[in-house]
Amino acid sequence: MSAVNRKDSLNQFIQQIYGRPVVVKLNSGVDYRGVLACLDGYMNIALEQTEEYENGQLQNKYGDAFIRGNNVLYISTVKRRT
């Protein structure tokens, strides 16, 4: 896959997940789960309806949260429950 195709598929993925539930895993091991409101080129992330999990345990709930991109290990979509 060429670099252009990879960039296009990444942009398509990001466009598809705006407004959807995501999990953001930090380098520290902490997970933030919420609705993706914004993502910039530095991977800074704004979440709404955010919950903080440590070792799988809910630690805190926030309305809105901003996560600095250099702390992010990965972003994953949350599978919808049926």
What are the structure tokens assigned to 64, written together? 């809105």
Q: What is the pTM of this model?
A: 0.82
Give the E-state strand segments of 1-82 in sequence order.
21-26, 31-39, 45-54, 57-67, 72-77
Mean pLDDT by 10 residues, the chain (82 residues): 67 85 96 95 93 96 96 86 50
Q: Quote the pLDDT of residue 44.
A: 94
CA torsion angle 52 64 18 80 (round to 10): 40
How far is the C-alpha of 46 from the C-alpha of 67, rounded, in Å?
6
What are the structure tokens assigned to 70, written together? 């250099």
